Amino acid sequence: MKRFLILAALALILPLAASAQGTSDPLEKDFATRTSLALDYRIVKGFHLEAAYELRTENNLSKIDRHQASLGLSYKFTDWLKAGADYIFIYRQGASAWEPRHRADAYLTFDYKFGFWRLSLREQLRYTHKTQDLNPYQENRNPLTLKSRLKLQYKGWLNLEPYAAFEVRNTLNAPSFTADWNDVAKSYSNYEFLGYKDIYINRLRGTLGIEWTLSPHSALDIYTHLDSCRDKDIDTNKKGTKLKSFTWSRTLIPTFGLGYTFSF
């Protein structure tokens, strides 16, 4: 019961979406895939070293979105608490060139088991460093996000474990501004850049999947998820003194994923 109360309390502590002016762009739709290979090495009981490679596609399979490689450590303190940290190198295809990015994650996972079921809550803090040229008044070079995922998994079908998950992603330091909208002139005035302190929910994700244990050392993860993204699209001059436009970009992205993990 104590663990259940911890999970319930943490699930309620989610940042609220911030409200702001702006119109919504037309809803865009895409189809993406993810394919990954992971290695899991147990250093000692409860302490693991993990490495992985992932390939992502987008634009309805017509474009390679990124290659990414990760290296991380995790430690299971008890049967209900696990912590970990990862470094991820991303080589992403931008509008005109391939762009490297650096990312670091830290997370806590809380588990509650009842019968053949396992309910888990993961809170993940993510830092990303972007290396490409960008307008700093439109986009933060070092975004910080918080991802909260609730996952329910059934472990009663021998080597098959179906699961469902729901995740909320919050941006914690997006560009923030104030401005007055003139409906007659169709333009903004009294624009002021306030720094990187805008907080809002910018993605909801639902996932259905199944983990298939092939042997004591290998497993497949087959899943599909649906992302509903809503981001602030800000257009300013390069000095950040004039706001040209502000809209909400909206995207719906179904994704199919396949991951293979080898443990030793």
Give tens-digit pLDDT for 188-227. Answer: 999 999 999 999 999 999 999 999 999 999 999 999 999 9
CB of 192 within 8 A of CB of 180?
Answer: no
Q: What are the tens digits of pLDDT across the range 53-76?
A: 999 999 999 999 999 999 999 999
DSSP state for residue 3 in the 8-state scheme: H
What stretches of 112-251 show up as alpha helix (H) in DSSP? none
Provide the residue type at 196 as one letter. Answer: Y
- Among the listed residues 250, 211, 254, 205, the one whose alpha carbon sits nearest the alpha carbon of residue 232: 250
pLDDT at residue 21 is higher than 60: no
Question: Can you read off the two tokens belonging to residue 88?
Answer: 């991820």
How would DSSP label each residue in 206-232? EEEEEEEEEETTEEEEEEEEEEEEEEE
pLDDT at residue 15 is higher than 80: no
Which of 46-50, 89-93, 116-120, 238-242 is the least confident region? Answer: 238-242
Q: How far apart are CA 83 and CA 76, in angstroms?
A: 6
pLDDT at residue 23 is higher than 90: no
Instruction: Give the long-range contacts of residues 124-127, CB within 8 A, separation 24 or more.
Output: 124/148, 124/149, 127/103
Question: Can you read off the two tokens belonging to residue 240?
Answer: 């950040």
DSSP state for residue 115 in the 8-state scheme: T
pTM: 0.89
Provide the residue type at 262 as one letter. Answer: F
CA 70 to chain CA centroid, Å, is 15
Section 83-110 average pLDDT: 96
> Would you list the domain boundaries of the chain?
2-263
DSSP state for residue 185 in the 8-state scheme: T
Q: Report the b/e string of 140-166 with b at 16+ CB within 10 A.
A: beebbbbbbbbbebeeeeeeebbbebe
Confidence of residue 12 (pLDDT cuts 50, 70, 90): very low
CATH 2.40.128 fits 2-263, yes or no: yes
Question: Can you read off the two tokens belonging to residue 42?
Answer: 């147990």
SS3 state of residue 53: strand
In the chain, what is the greatest distance between 2 CA atoms, to the nearest angstrom? 68
Radius of gyration of the chain (CA): 21
Q: How far apart are CA 64 and CA 83, in angstroms?
A: 32
Q: Kind of pairing, strands 23-24 and 243-263?
A: parallel
Instruction: Report the length, in residues, of the chain.
Output: 264
Question: Can you read off the two tokens belonging to residue 73?
Answer: 């450590």
Q: How far apart are CA 232 and CA 128, in angstroms?
A: 18
- From residue 39, give the alpha-carbon distance in Å to each of 36, 46, 72, 203: 10, 16, 11, 29
